[in-house]
Structure 1
Amino acid sequence: MSKKQNRVSEAKTGDYGYRSETRNLSKSSSKKRKSGGGKALGVILVMIQLILSIVFTGLIVYKKLAFLTAPVLAGVIGVLIVFLGLVFFLLQKSGKAPVFGKVISVIVIIILSLLIYLVAPIPQMSGSKVSKDPFIVVISAADTFGELNSKENTRTDTNILAVVNPKTYSVLMISTPRDYYVPVQAKSVAPESYDKLTHVTLYGNGIAHKDGKDLTSSDWQWAYEVQWHPGQDALMDTLKYLYKYDIKKSDYHYAKVNFTGFADLIDALGGVTVNVEIPFSTEAYASYDAKHEGSKIYTYKKGNMEMDGATALTYARERHSFANGDMQRNRNQVAVLKALEKKLLSGTMLINYNKILDAIKGSFSTDLDISSLANMQLSLSTKKDYNGWNIMSYSVTGQTSWQTLTYTGSSKSVVLQDEQSVSNATNLINMVLNGDDASAIKKQIKKYNK
């Protein structure tokens, strides 16, 4: 063999012919290390994805989010399981499949992290859930501004019964004048003790106390002389006694908002369109908080009118511009509530109801689980025969008079009950609760209003 051939042979085999074999072993070892590291990364990603999936599912269940019905929850869990299974499947394959699996896992992890970040600050929904059965909500507006103190009893400027039957898609709003002279129904109040409806919420849960002791009606002369435990029982029981409706406690609810919360709610909705019945102008505070001082003249033209929070609140509160004062104000309040309800029932608002609640937090209280209302509406909207709610209204009437008030002991201007209009309201309430057709109820309202 020549020297040249010998050098070529040595270059191929190395010392003792092992150079090429050593290189191959080195490359094989490197591939194994990379493969092991890739599998470890895949396992870590799968574990993170699994943990975030569990956290997200638990969070949305705990928060009781709207539209989270059993089928929707099952769908969410199903999607999370599918993605988890897909990633795990791809990681077991060879070639580029594990890379795709890791990419998918990272994307899912990012999405879940973002969703958890968005859902975590949402307050947990509490309160009673509405069922498919008819229910009644006492809607009241406290005549206060700023935060609504749940431990403080305040007068109400608005008291409206919302009678709801989800089976017939009917909503009846019964409006009662704030100065209606009614018998107060409360444990610590003697029978046949009359007061203005606006004062009834001052009696709280109906139980008086003084020096740490609960009192009976014989322990005081006028209601202002003692303290009253906070609550809505006195108002709800008084309205139930006035209109003589029969409703289970589980289907009887309240929703209370003050002036600030009312204006903020409408602003959060982007305003409402209200049908103005009687045109008028009035001067009032431009905004109902400490940030805005001074007054503003509001002008309302007959017909549909776009209103922001302050404009709608001024419209709902005004009574001095009308010959029949409280009666027209009641009708105006119902018109605003109809516009408000229409806006609240839109699909976009139902999905974003948590943002709306956040806008009025501190100025609103209820014993209802708001998410169950949203769930109910979303469920109804999928039914073939659903074509929107039939929103109807009726206002009771009366005559002005001067009478003694149980709370203050003084004689003040009140609105005496018109027994016929109260009887009409009772009949309409029962028609809704009993599931009568909306067309029949509308026909009856038209007959009563003649």
Structure 2
Amino acid sequence: MLGCILMLTGAGAGWMYWQLNDNIQSVDIDNALGDDRPERAAAVSTPSPTASSSDEATPSPSPYPSVSALPAGALNILVLGSDSRSGERNSELGGGNSSGARSDTAMIVHLDSDRTEATVVSIPRDTLVTRPSCPTSSGGSTAVAYNAMFNSAYSVGGPVCAIKTVEQLTDVRMDHYIEIDFAGFADLVDTLGGVTVTTEEDIDDDKSQLHLDAGTHHLDGTEALALARTRHGIGDGSDLGRIGLQQQLIKAMLEEATASDLLTSPTRLYEVADAVTGSLTTDTGLDSLGELMGLADALSGISADDLTTVTMPVVTAPYDANRVVADEPEASELWASLR
């Protein structure tokens, strides 16, 4: 009887693992962009541990996937928040239907080589850039566009064009890509048990449907998403105010993940995977639970105090008061520091 129970448990876990793996959408960035890209950071090889005699016993079967370690060395991961209204829940959370999809949030997550510190660099979506020619799904390519809004790259060419635009802007190789939609972000926060943030001013934004008095609040997923999208109810109403709130949320989420042992517990990671994998798009190097758990393992030694958040230095565009451009030489110095 015990053997039957263990067999059924293993089969159920195996089916769940397959189902969650199947939920993750992926894009083969390396194949799409080829070799015309910035160089990868030099990997540092580490020796494999030698098993001792006490380790030679056959381990007990685990229902969880084995962790696929990420390559040693510094890593740069482009994280995009999509404002797609595809699907009933995304439409509801986004406040109605909207055509197409844009990169509502863009962050480069830089992990240092020893995985003890991380830097998150936000790129304002209203930044005017030279959008490069990008490959299309039909085998053609888009035209180069000058003074194009940064977030238009995703609109015209999806993740591939977004990454190519970031790499041209920064001359920094993006080793991985993660995209999450409205529903996935809200579900992630709910699975963490909510997040605690402190706002320094009242927020009254009908467009994001968020109304908060200044002070400390514990937000559920829907409220946290509204905070991440808020810009009309704070500061001058620009995207820069919203970026400050998003960076505050990232630190709050890392604090919750650390407090709940999320990054070191296979059980908790499975709960998160079950909640968000259907809302994730990654590059092919992160499109399995084992690889995503490898990323969690790389992040497990980093606390909120070890996380630095910055925004790409920008100034108002001289020819459009509603847009910004990179502030040089400060922006180039930032990218050089990541390289």
TM-score w.r.t. length of structure 1? 0.53
Match of 1:138 in 2: 78
- Are the aligned partners of 1:180 and 1:197 in contact in 2 as well (CA < 8 Å)? yes
- Are the aligned partners of 2:205 and 2:211 in contact in 1 as well (CA < 8 Å)? yes
Cα distance in structure 2, aligned partners of 1:146 and 1:77: 49
Match of 1:211 in 2: none
Shift of 1:375: 4.1
Shift of 1:284: 3.5
Show structure 1 runs of 5+ residues with no match. Answer: 1-44, 81-111, 205-230, 287-294, 404-410, 431-450
Letter in 1 for 2:83: D
Establish whether residue 239 from structure 1 lines up as the match of residue 166 from structure 2.
Answer: yes
What value does the CA root-mean-square deviation take over the aligned residues? 4.3
Q: How does 1:194-343 map to 2 (within 5 A)?
A: 194-204=147-157, 231-245=158-172, 247=173, 252-276=175-199, 278-284=200-206, 298-302=211-215, 304-320=216-232, 321-323=234-236, 325-343=238-256
Letter in 2 for 1:427: A
- Are the aligned partners of 1:345 and 1:377 in contact in 2 as well (CA < 8 Å)? no
More moved, 234-243 vs 346-355: 346-355
Shift of 1:75: 7.0
Cα distance in structure 1, aligned partners of 2:211 and 2:273: 28
Which structure is larger by alpha-carbon Rg, 1 or 2? 1
Shift of 1:238: 0.8
Cα distance in structure 2, aligned partners of 1:175 and 1:203: 21
- Are the aligned partners of 1:130 and 1:373 in contact in 2 as well (CA < 8 Å)? no
Shift of 1:203: 2.1
Shift of 1:344: 3.1
Q: How does 1:82-161 map to 2 (within 5 A)?
A: 119=63, 130-145=70-85, 147=87, 154-161=101-108
After superposition, the Cα gap between the structure-2 partners of 1:275 and 1:426, relative to the gap in structure 1 and judged at 3 Å, is farther
After superposition, the C-alpha distances for 1:226-261 in whole angstroms (9 at most, x for unaligned) are xxxxx411111111111122x3xxx61111112222
Cα distance in structure 2, aligned partners of 1:279 and 1:167: 38
Letter in 1 for 2:201: P
- Are the aligned partners of 2:81 and 2:182 in contact in 1 as well (CA < 8 Å)? yes
Establish whether residue 178 from structure 1 lines up as the match of residue 125 from structure 2.
Answer: yes
Letter in 1 for 2:254: E
After superposition, the C-alpha distances for 1:197-229 in whole angstroms (9 at most, x for unaligned) are 12110122xxxxxxxxxxxxxxxxxxxxxxxxx
Cα distance in structure 2, aligned partners of 1:378 and 1:141: 22
Shift of 1:396: 1.9
- Are the aligned partners of 1:316 and 1:333 in contact in 2 as well (CA < 8 Å)? yes
Shift of 1:143: 1.1
Shift of 1:371: 3.2
After superposition, the C-alpha distances for 1:241-285 in whole angstroms (9 at most, x for unaligned) are 11122x3xxx61111112222112111211012243x31221447
Letter in 2 for 1:322: G
Q: Secondary structure at the match of 1:232?
A: helix
Cα distance in structure 1, aligned partners of 2:238 and 2:10: 56
Shift of 1:139: 0.9
Q: Secondary structure at the match of 1:78?
A: coil
Q: Which structure exhibits the higher relative contact order, with contacts defined as CA atoms closer than 8 Å and separated by 6 or more residues?
A: 2
Letter in 2 for 1:362: G
Shift of 1:402: 8.0
Aligned residues: 287
After superposition, the C-alpha distances for 1:351-394 in whole angstroms (9 at most, x for unaligned) are 2112212222432222214533434655886xxxx674611111
Match of 2:337 in 1: 428
After superposition, the Cα gap between the structure-2 partners of 1:153 and 1:425, relative to the gap in structure 1 and judged at 3 Å, is farther
Match of 1:415 in 2: 324
Q: Secondary structure at the match of 1:322?
A: coil
After superposition, the Cα gap between the structure-2 partners of 1:308 and 1:347, relative to the gap in structure 1 and judged at 3 Å, is closer
After superposition, the C-alpha distances for 1:311-356 in whole angstroms (9 at most, x for unaligned) are 2122221112212622121111111112223333456323211221
Show structure 2 runs of 5+ residues with no match. Answer: 21-48, 92-98, 135-140
After superposition, the Cα gap between the structure-2 partners of 1:237 and 1:153, relative to the gap in structure 1 and judged at 3 Å, is farther
Q: Secondary structure at the match of 1:416?
A: strand
- Are the aligned partners of 1:144 and 1:260 in contact in 2 as well (CA < 8 Å)? no
- Are the aligned partners of 2:117 and 2:307 in contact in 1 as well (CA < 8 Å)? yes
- Are the aligned partners of 2:121 and 2:311 in contact in 1 as well (CA < 8 Å)? yes
Letter in 1 for 2:242: R
- Whichever structure has more helix as a proportion of its residues is 1
Match of 1:443 in 2: none
Cα distance in structure 2, aligned partners of 1:258 and 1:267: 14
After superposition, the Cα gap between the structure-2 partners of 1:64 and 1:163, relative to the gap in structure 1 and judged at 3 Å, is farther
Cα distance in structure 2, aligned partners of 1:392 and 1:155: 26
After superposition, the Cα gap between the structure-2 partners of 1:325 and 1:132, relative to the gap in structure 1 and judged at 3 Å, is same
Q: Percentage identity across aligned positions?
A: 22
- Are the aligned partners of 2:84 and 2:100 in contact in 1 as well (CA < 8 Å)? no
Establish whether residue 359 from structure 1 lines up as the match of residue 275 from structure 2.
Answer: yes
Establish whether residue 78 from structure 1 lines up as the match of residue 58 from structure 2.
Answer: yes
